[in-house]
Chains A and B, each alone.
Chain A
Amino acid sequence: MANRREFIKIAGLGLGGLVMSNPAINAFTNTFLQDESSLLTGGMTRTPTYCEVCFWKCAGWVSQDKEGKIKQITGNQEDQHSNGRFCPRGTAGAGMYYDEDRLKTPLIRTEERGKQVFREASWDEALDYVADKMKSIGEKYGNECTALLTHGSGGKYFGNLIRAFGSDSIAAPSYAQCRGPREVAFHMTFGEGVQSPERTDIRDTRCLVLIGSHLGENMHNGQVQEMSDAIDKGASVITVDPRYSTAASKSKYWLPIKPSTDLALLLAWINVIISEGWYDRDYVEKYTYGFDYLKEHVKNMTPEWAYGITTLKPEIIRESAREMADSAPSVIVHPGRHVTWYGDDTQRERAIAILNALLGSWGRRGGFYVPESVDIPSWPHPPYPEPKKNWKDAYPGKYNLAYETIASGICDATIPSLSKACNFKTWIVNGTNLLKTLPDQQKTIDAINELELLVVVDTMPMEITGYADVVLPECTYLERYDTIRNSPHREPAIAVRMPAAKPKYDSKPAYWMAKELAKRLGLEEYFSWNNIEEMLDWQLKQVGSSLEEMKSKGVKTFKRSYPLYFLEGEDFEFYTNTGKIELYSTAMAQEGFDPLPVYTAHEEPPRGYYRLIYGRAPSHTFSRTSNNINLTDIMEENSVWVNPRVAKLWGLKNRQEVYLENQDGIVSKFPIKVRITERIRWDSVFMVHGFGHDNKKLSRAYGKGASDAELITKVHTDPVMGGTGMRGNFVKFRFEPAKNEKVS
């Protein structure tokens, strides 16, 4: 295939000739209002924000000195996501604003002397270019051939634009590459998803069960705080992980499971809890459907059966089940967050949901609470046109249970094939470095090569920008307004983000870009507000607040309208086919899937290879933070964790640099340092996700560590909802780089 789209390095661009604005104090907010309460001692000012360094969206304050320099970003005491304390990434957020490697001006791909390069463009030029292209591509193929791939707050505005334009193919990799299976599984069981932030009542739990979920290393702020509170109050933690994670070190029981066998353990737990009669009889009787099927289904799945699969001793399986049952209903078998592992992830999550149902923890204090959010109307706009097709037409009859769009599905559907009725020709990619978030990089690149227009909106020159036709520099969250944060929680609450500084360089907020594009596409009526303040203020007034109030408060909490937990003996209709909690899933049966989870063995590492397990470090959010100077100070590269026995076999030394080669012969582009540690099983290696950047323009992140994403070339697709299982990849060590290093 002709490589029409060469990768262009954004080097040395964007500095000449263009205005570089200085961070002026509240230059934006001043135009609206500046009230007393935002003044701190010593001439400091503070502006409300919610953090964009990860999806947790903690609300807080940006404190600035008289010169407008950002001194601190701290949590808002009223905020349930942060309880007044940010995590290290949020505390370090100013590093994103001050990053000198930021995208500075719009860029357009052009050809100069036979070579593809970017040229700097004005906003008018860039937006005209994008709008003209969108129009002509739409005329040729239909507006449905436009897709939006997004992660982050700006997606809302681009979503409005794309829908108005006539497409509803809008995807976030956080679904099919992350939490999708759990949402589907909980929907199938309880008729509702887990949502974000998770409705886990960790604060008041007596027993927290983590399955491969490494709280403390993934700093989902509120959850980590609550885990700490729970430990303080004497709760026990049970951790299932082939790695001795931070959470494992705080656990009463650590179950060092053989990777890929979690479902067998879950079924054995279900077996024990049923056969010992430790389940919540009243709850099961009143609320659930299919108990007898379940009982029959698991009757032979004893701890002894699971022992042979998981390598976990039967008595540990029984004891830990007892621990859960003793704590019930104040027990949480945590659904996890990144759960796309082996391709049967919806089934594993179903087993988790079933276990919670048996323990009666759903809707109970110390289990799962019933979250509530605020009803905020959208700014009025005409109805969206009805798209004639969307990404689902590329998969007739498949993924009917997926509630959200599958990013990898859009990627697949972009590569033309006879069987796929929907091909995308335009992608707008907002705030997600697809080359690192989607598995199988080559496939993503192949899809990109089929596009007629790729627009990338980002703050940083991430790898994906190198493939763009047009790059639109977004300002950071510290320089912009955004949608009102309205996430479900114990108390319904809203939070606002206001600009603490004027956008640096020639960057702009997403809402502005979307509105400007709408203008050019004749869709202005979908963005009929004059300015963002007007829209936000209107929305806030609908719920009895105002922009002025929110400027001084940052967060506003409302009264609940229904109880936080199920009331004792309360009748409850669940949003499932049977109106009950479905232990036996009728919807899954209808779709031809196992209505009760069945354990299947997964491929094991070939001789001389180790399973590649990836995860998080508390100081980074994937690739988003890897160039942030405040965080590279804490951790500038990842390492590959190797068990001492394996290290001995390969003659590896601590901090020695090696390359990793996967089962398909793909070799990591950069070497990675070995970390010899007892904390990892001998059949696996571990590395933190988000490193190994190959764009030189990321001056601190370039070539630091290796990228797990490039080694994930084998994907096990979840037949239920299209999730991309990524833990079925195996690596070995190599002492020299790939023979003919292919630079993309």
Chain B
Amino acid sequence: MRYAMAVDTKKCVGCSDCVVACQAENNVPHGYAREWVVELVEGSYPNLEMELRSERCNHCDNAPCVRCCPTGASHIVEGGIVLVEHNKCIGCGACITSCPYDARYSHPEGYVDKCTFCEHLVKEGEDPACVAVCPTKCLYFGDLDDPRSEVSKVIKNRKYKTLIPEAGTDPQIFFLT
């Protein structure tokens, strides 16, 4: 099993509903976020292009944050989901520095936090909160090892990219372009 997500940048409108739903689902404190929206504009008026995309932890296959964690709090569970065990985390921040995507933040309660792919919902067979709420249905989630999963299908049929592939982290979030 390999959980992954695809973000259709052709459909995302940058509304941040995914962020709001994540905050509520995961009790993310105000002023912090596990996910965020990026707006990239290229060209000059009126020859412009813009990409909107919702970003979060890439649940990298080759995760530097896990490798550098001195306590083992950052770890990988079933399906390749990268998690932080709050009790074990000493808040040293090594992982924050090592992550090329700036996907982690220091929780005010002293540990490091980030996107969990809503692992608590996923193991019940539900979609992550962001996927379930997205009004444009531009987020796809599922098992890459299962060719019938939504995410496998869109990745097979569409062009896509990953972020900072040169970092060698092997990200598992795919941006459909």
Contacts and interface: CB of A to CB of B under 8 A. Distances in A.
Nearest to A225: B135
A644 B21 CA distance: 35
A71 B16 contact: no
Interface string A122-141: 00000000000000000000
Interface residues of B, number: 33
Contact of B20 (A91, A225, A249): A91
A633 B45 contact: no
Interface stretch (B24-32, B69-77, B107-115): B24-32
A619 B16 contact: yes
A254 B137 contact: no
Given A87-B17, A678-B48, A629 B30 contact: yes
Interface string A230-254: 0110000000000010100110001
Interface string B1-45: 000000000110111110111011100001101000000010111
B46 interface: yes
Nearest to B37: A634
Interface string A630-668: 110111000000011000000000000000000000000
Contact of A254 (B13, B20, B46, B51): B46
A72 B25 contact: yes
A221 interface: yes
A727 B10 CA distance: 31
B134 interface: yes
Contacts of A91: 17, 20-21, 24, 133
B20 A228 contact: no
A633 B16 CA distance: 10
A628 B137 CA distance: 25
A254 B30 CA distance: 37
Contacts of B17: 85-88, 91, 618
A244 B136 CA distance: 20
Which among A91, A224, A228, A254 has the highest number of chain B CB atoms within 10 Å? A91
Contacts of B16: 88, 618-619, 634-635
Interface in A49-90: 71-72, 74, 85-88
B166 interface: no
A219 B50 contact: no
A224 B52 CA distance: 15
Nearest to B15: A618
A698 interface: no
Given A91-B133, A678-B43, A633 B14 contact: no
A228 B45 contact: no
Given A224-B15, A228-B11, A682-B45, 20 more contacts: A72-B24, A72-B25, A85-B134, A85-B135, A86-B135, A88-B20, A91-B21, A216-B13, A219-B13, A227-B136, A246-B52, A250-B13, A618-B17, A629-B30, A631-B20, A634-B16, A634-B19, A678-B41, A678-B45, A679-B48
Interface of A: 71-72, 74, 85-88, 91-92, 94, 216-217, 219, 221, 224-225, 227-229, 231-232, 244, 246, 249-250, 254, 256, 618-619, 629-631, 633-635, 643-644, 677-682
Interface of B: 10-11, 13-17, 19-21, 23-25, 30-31, 33, 41, 43-46, 48-52, 132-138
By Cβ-Cβ distance, the 4 closest A-B pairs, closest first, are A216-B13, A618-B15, A228-B136, A249-B50
9 contacts: A87-B17, A224-B13, A228-B137, A246-B52, A249-B50, A249-B51, A250-B10, A629-B30, A633-B30
